[in-house]
Structure 1
Amino acid sequence: MTEHRKTALITGATGGIGSALAECLASDYHLILAGRDGAKLADLAERFPEARVLALHLDQPASLADAVHGIDRLDALIHNAGVVDLATVEAASLDEWQRTLTINLVAPAELTRLLLPALRAARGHVLFVNSGAGLTANPGWGSYAASKFGLRALADALRGEEAPHGVRVTTVYPGRTATDMQRKVRNQEGGEFVAEAYIRPDSVASTIRAALLLPRDAHLTDLTVRPGS
């Protein structure tokens, strides 16, 4: 009998942590690499010829059902995609709130719901790449932190609901990581982007891999990763 090869779907696979995850997990899983930018997805397809690339528009959750139709077994669903726009509660627009909450929270909830049968079939693992902002909300971070607090609540509820089905759920809270998103954040904060001061994306990816590949008798539920000295 041919041994089942594990499959992992990574959202935000064209970004810093997502790309590092693809590198880190390529030898362990058949990869489904999801993103929204066609040119970047084409580049991923060249870098990972054995992977499947998948266009997902997380700002349109109603479109996700068609996009993931046919995935009937999934060992790992890694929610890595996200957006951030810093603004005070006074200054943040309705559109900014709706976009942030839709992409960072509503879409992961809907994607998880759609893929639960495939995850249950594999006794798989859902992993949410959260943020330090999912633990503490600072001034100017209201909409982003709200989306990440919500993501934490989603993970906690899902963990209890899916335990009878053998589905594990982990949340990882990375600190500031040397990615293009962090570069954007530092620009919005009016500060300098110094890559050496932050966590490398491959370090976050290695942490995620360790959580995913734990034996079945262990379950890492929450992991906080901070820049080293």
Structure 2
Amino acid sequence: MTTPTTTLVTGAASGLGWSLARAAFARGHSVILVDRDADALAEKHAELAAEDAPRVRHFALDLTDGPALDRLIDAVTAGGRLDVLINNAGITHRSPAARTDMKVFRQVMAVDWEAPVALTLGCLPLLRASGGCVVNIGSMAGWMPVLGRAGYCSAKAALTQFFEVLRGEVADQGIRVLMVYPSFLATPIETNALGFDGKPAAHARSSVGKVRSADWMAERILKALTRGEKRLFPDSFTVFASLLWRLAPNTYHRLMRRRFAVELES
């Protein structure tokens, strides 16, 4: 009897994380759901457990809580297997850099960079044993500047650099890394964005290109995982924007200031 692929998804109680967990479960994976929202997480667990309870586990915790993260790693290790680690949990902010409290930058960096790094390092022995893969949900904001997102851009850029280095260091150990670079998705990360003082952002987000659904993105991520891809730019807009920033940065800045003017006024 074939052992199911075991996939851990952070930020699994909503948005892209839930879409990924549900899609992986539908493909026969055993899934480990992780989120800080205990009530929502329990509901998602119950929904999947109604279909096949042995294939789903859940852990409610704040990934920036070091001791809690260590307990999660111990519990996953005790389970004996991990094939795919999806670092999806994240937060963002909408506020001009010069007006933003440092606590906001620290919080964004803790969730978007430190937590996935710590979780991945703790899970490396399991991934080494399974020949597994780390999937990181980056952002186009990690490749190019976006007004009002200085902390988020910094965290996602740091995430990219760390895991591109790690990719080279663990390749001979059979561990793969898939970096995913979405543009704008219809997920709670933007509706829950922080403002300059750490409270909810007061203004609506600006966006460019088509705002895609979480289910649309999840399907592309799992297909890229199956194909063994190293990086996923899910649509033509993400490719075009990244090239524009590199080839014509002054033009990119003019267009960004025009499109994201509300960020300068907030």
Q: Secondary structure at the residue paired with 2:181?
A: strand
1:182 corresponds, among 190, 196, 203, to 190
Structure-2-length-normalised TM-score: 0.77
Structure 1: unaligned runs, 5 residues or longer: none
Supply the distance in 2 between the matched residues of 1:85 and 1:192 (Cα, whole angstroms).
10
1:142-190, CA deviations, whole angstroms, 9 ceiling, x for partnerless residues?
A: 10110000010121011111101111101101111111223345x9483
2:169 corresponds, among 149, 161, 178, to 161
> In the alignment, residue 66 of structure 1 is paired with which amino acid?
R
Aligned-residue sequence identity (percent) comes to 29
Moved more, 100-109 or 132-141: 132-141
> In the alignment, residue 179 of structure 1 is paired with which amino acid?
T
Mapped contact 1:197–1:227 kept (Cα < 8 A): no
Q: Which residue of 2 aligns with 1:44?
A: 44
Supply the distance in 1 between the matched residues of 2:4 and 2:158 (Cα, whole angstroms).
33
Supply the distance in 2 between the matched residues of 1:15 and 1:151 (Cα, whole angstroms).
22
Structure 2: unaligned runs, 5 residues or longer: 194-199, 238-266
Mapped contact 2:7–2:83 kept (Cα < 8 A): yes
2:125 corresponds, among 113, 117, 120, to 117
Cα 1:213/1:227, change in 2 over 3 Å: same
1:79-115, CA deviations, whole angstroms, 9 ceiling, x for partnerless residues?
A: 0000111222211112111111111100111000100
Supply the distance in 1 between the matched residues of 2:216 and 2:236 (Cα, whole angstroms).
10
Mapped contact 2:128–2:173 kept (Cα < 8 A): yes
Mapped contact 2:109–2:155 kept (Cα < 8 A): yes
Alignment RMSD (CA, Å): 2.3
Structure having the higher helix fraction is 2
Supply the distance in 2 between the matched residues of 1:133 and 1:88 (Cα, whole angstroms).
15
Larger Rg: 2
Q: Secondary structure at the residue paired with 1:174?
A: coil
Q: Which residue of 2 aligns with 1:66?
A: 71
Cα 1:160/1:223, change in 2 over 3 Å: same
Supply the distance in 1 between the matched residues of 2:93 and 2:206 (Cα, whole angstroms).
16
Q: Secondary structure at the residue paired with 1:32?
A: strand
Q: Secondary structure at the residue paired with 1:140?
A: coil
> In the alignment, residue 130 of structure 1 is paired with which amino acid?
G
Structure-1-length-normalised TM-score: 0.89
Cα 1:209/1:48, change in 2 over 3 Å: same
The 5-angstrom pairing of residues 6-25 of structure 1 reads 6-25=5-24
